[in-house]
């Protein structure tokens, strides 16, 4: 067979050349310079460096029978000269075809233990999947790794791993593989206890002296124990009479969730559109939209008359159903299919939105939300969502450094 015509049959003879040892510049070039003398074709290459140790695998076509022994001896001699180890294995063809049904499984741990990794890998196998490749996405502030899996459909794999993740205390996201993962998307998130660490109505209530009463009703609503609209009216009524100047004070008190700016900045660089929907108030979300460069924002609006809060809201109520409706509206305006949307939230009133999105992420959410969402993130860093989209920490830092 000639080098200009690579074999097409699955049983053509190949050599797997594996190199191990201390990494240094020039190893990859040196190996292929050595192989070039034998006129072999490159079928596949894999290389990984872990803690300064390189593993380099080259799958090449088998040379002529009279030169294979010389190739083996030459490669071993070259490796020994660099204090590397070499292994050469004869075989047939390339990798076996990947099974139908391909997914990316992202695992977040803080820390990621060997026990939890074993449990996830075993559950993938038990579901009929095969792990084709693993690589690390981030090493801090959480450890994030991604498994490329084939051989089982995404939905049953997601269901199985969600159960496993809840039992062992790690976060797992499962998304279908394919070009759509690289497409421009829309990300829509809740505000209170998601984009920000606060509950905005409680910030207002603190100025009205009724923080405890409002917090109790808020907690019950987020657990799904109360109708959101009724609870909203009840809480807002307690704010009646507050001077409108309190709005500026609350805006200064709002605290962004760690990683929020990084998440939004990175998504915008990638061409994503980003929006927020909130059961809170436009008096705060409009300010966040301007400060963070968001594309969309919608919330309830506090009524202000003669410079004071009336204790009422105006316009369409943004409740559980309203958030899902707004997600669809934003997607239509952005020209993004609903399957290409990501929704992030923590409370029961986010459930319809999480279920409507292509990927629903429960962020430090209540148990009822974690059970219903596609995936859960239970670390206090909002930018961990980037890893679920296949974006690495190194890529984020490199982009930040370039802009600086």
Long-range contacts of residues 396-399, Cβ cutoff 8 Å, at least 24 apart:
396/262, 396/266, 399/266, 399/269
Distance between alpha carbon 87 and the CA centroid of its chain, in Å? 37
pLDDT of residue 320: 93
Q: Quick check: is 400 catalytic?
A: no
Pair 31, 75: CB distance under 8 Å: yes
Pair 213, 205: CB distance under 8 Å: yes
Candidates 41, 171, 190, 198; catalytic one: 190
Which residues are CB-contacts of 307 (< 8 A; sequence separation ≥ 6)?
243, 244
Pair 176, 103: CB distance under 8 Å: yes
Beta bridge partners of 189: 276, 344
pTM of the model: 0.84
Cβ atoms within 10 Å, residue 76: 15
Quickly list H helices, 82-195: 114-126, 154-168
Q: Which of 173, 189, 172 is nearest to 350 (CA)?
A: 189
Pair 338, 344: CB distance under 8 Å: no
Element (H, E) at 277: strand 273-281
Distance between alpha carbon 396 and the CA centroid of its chain, in Å? 13
pLDDT digits (tens, 9 = 90+) for 222-252: 677 778 888 899 899 999 999 999 999 999 9
Angstrom distance (rounded) from CA 298 to CA 280: 9
Q: Tell me which residues of the chain have a pLDDT lower than 50.
A: 1-7
Q: Which 8-state DSSP code applies to residue 96?
A: P
Candidates 192, 198, 346, 350; catalytic one: 192
pLDDT of residue 10: 65
pLDDT of residue 307: 97
Angstrom distance (rounded) from CA 346 to CA 358: 17
Q: Quick check: is 352 catalytic?
A: no
Q: Do strands 341-345 and 308-314 pair parallel, antiparallel, or not at all (unpaired)?
A: unpaired
Instruction: Please report the sign of the dihedral spanned by the C-alpha atoms of residue 112, residue 375, residue 380, residue 329.
Output: positive
pLDDT of residue 9: 60
Quickly list H helices, 227-279: 228-237, 246-253, 260-269
């Amino acid at each position: 067979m000639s080098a200009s015509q690579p074999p097409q049959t699955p049983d053509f003879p190949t050599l797997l050349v594996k190199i191990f040892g201390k990494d240094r510049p020039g190893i990859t070039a040196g190996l292929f310079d050595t192989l070039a003398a034998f006129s072999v074709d490159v079928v596949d290459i894999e290389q990984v460096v872990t803690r300064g140790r390189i593993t380099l695998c080259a799958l090449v076509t088998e040379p002529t029978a009279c030169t294979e022994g010389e190739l083996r001896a030459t490669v071993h001699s070259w490796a020994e000269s660099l204090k590397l180890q070499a292994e050469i294995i004869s075989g047939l063809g390339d990798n076996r075809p990947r099974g139908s049904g391909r997914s990316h499984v992202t695992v977040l741990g803080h820390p990621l233990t060997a026990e939890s990794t074993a449990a996830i890998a075993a559950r993938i196998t038990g579901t009929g999947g095969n792990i084709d490749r693993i690589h690390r996405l981030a090493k801090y502030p959480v450890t994030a790794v991604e498994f490329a899996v084939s051989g089982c459909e995404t939905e049953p794999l997601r269901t199985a791993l969600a159960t496993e993740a809840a039992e062992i205390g790690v976060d797992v996201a499962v998304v279908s593989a394919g070009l759509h993962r690289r497409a421009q998307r829309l990300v829509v998130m809740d505000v209170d206890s998601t984009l920000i660490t606060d509950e905005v109505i409680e910030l207002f209530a603190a100025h009205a002296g009724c923080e405890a009463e409002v917090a109790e009703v808020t907690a019950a609503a987020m657990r799904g124990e109360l109708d959101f609209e009724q609870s909203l009216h009840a809480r807002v009524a307690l704010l009646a009479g507050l001077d409108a100047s309190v709005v500026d004070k609350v805006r200064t008190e709002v605290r962004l969730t760690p990683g929020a700016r990084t998440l939004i900045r990175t998504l915008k660089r990638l061409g994503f559109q980003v929006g927020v929907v909130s059961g809170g108030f436009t008096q705060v979300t409009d300010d966040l939209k301007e400060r963070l460069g968001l594309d969309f924002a919608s919330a309830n609006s506090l009524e202000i008359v003669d410079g004071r809060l009336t204790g009422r809201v105006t316009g369409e109520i943004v409740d559980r159903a309203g958030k899902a409706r707004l997600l669809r509206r934003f997607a239509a305006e952005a020209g993004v299919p609903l399957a290409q949307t990501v929704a992030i939230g923590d409370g029961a009133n986010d459930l319809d939105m999480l279920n409507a999105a292509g990927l629903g992420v429960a962020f430090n959410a209540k148990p009822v939300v974690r059970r219903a969402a596609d995936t859960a993130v239970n670390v206090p860093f909002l930018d961990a969502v980037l890893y679920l989209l296949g974006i690495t920490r190194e890529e984020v830092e490199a982009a930040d450094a370039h802009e600086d």
